[in-house]
Amino acid sequence: MSEVDIRDLIPKDVIVASKLHVAVLGEEFISRAGIEFMSRYYNAWIKSDFGVAVGAFNEGKLVGVLLGTTDPGSHYKSMVKTSGLNLIVGLVVSCIKKSDFRKELVRTRLVRYTRGVAKLLYGRLRRHENYPIENEKIERVGELTHVFVDSESQAKGIGTQLVKKMIDRCERENIDTLTLVTPPESSARILYTKLGFKEVGGKTSSSNETYLKMEYSLAKSAS
Ligand X SMILES: CC(C)(COP(=O)(O)OP(=O)(O)OC[C@H]1O[C@@H](n2cnc3c(N)ncnc32)[C@H](O)[C@@H]1OP(=O)(O)O)[C@@H](O)C(=O)NCCC(=O)NCCS
Near ligand X by CB under 6 A: residue from 58, 82, 154, 177: 154
Enumerate residues 6+ apart whose C-beta is below 8 A from 84: 117
Q: Does 149 bind ligand X (CB under 6 A)?
A: yes
CB 68 within 8 A of CB 142: yes
Q: Which residues, 6+ apart, have CB-to-CB distance to 145 below 8 Å?
A: 67, 68, 69, 180
Among 80, 147, 166, 170, binds ligand X (CB under 6 A): 147
166, 178, 181, 191: residue in contact with ligand X (rule CB under 6 A): 191
Q: In this chain, which stretch among 95-103, 108-116, 156-164, 211-219 interacts with ligand X, using CB under 6 A?
A: 156-164
Q: Which of residues 2-61 bind ligand X (CB under 6 A)?
A: 24-25
* Cα dihedral 30, 31, 37, 40 sign: positive
Residue 203 burial (CB < 10 Å; 0-12/13-18/19+)?
exposed
| Residue 187 sits in the site that holds ligand X (CB under 6 A) | yes
Give min distance, CB of 106 to ligand X, in A: 25
Distance of CA 91 to the CA centre of its chain: 18
Please state the closest distance from residue 148 (CB atom) to ligand X, in A: 4
Q: What is the DSSP letter of 136?
A: -
Q: Which one among 45, 143, 159, 178 touches ligand X, defined by CB under 6 A? A: 159
Cβ at position 31, least distance to ligand X in Å: 11
Binding-site member from 89, 190, 200, 219 for ligand X (CB under 6 A): 190
Report the first-to-last Cα separation within the chain, whole angstroms: 36
- Among the listed residues 127, 4, 117, 139, the one whose alpha carbon sits nearest the alpha carbon of residue 64: 4
Measured from the CB atom, is 156 or 165 closer to ligand X? 156
CB 202, min distance to ligand X, A: 16
Q: Out of 21, 40, 77, 146, which residue is the one contacting ligand X (CB under 6 A)?
A: 146
> What pairs with residue 7 in β-bridges?
55
Binding test (CB under 6 A) with ligand X, winner from 86, 109, 157, 218: 157
Binding site for ligand X (CB under 6 A): 24-25, 146-149, 154-160, 182, 186-188, 190-191, 194
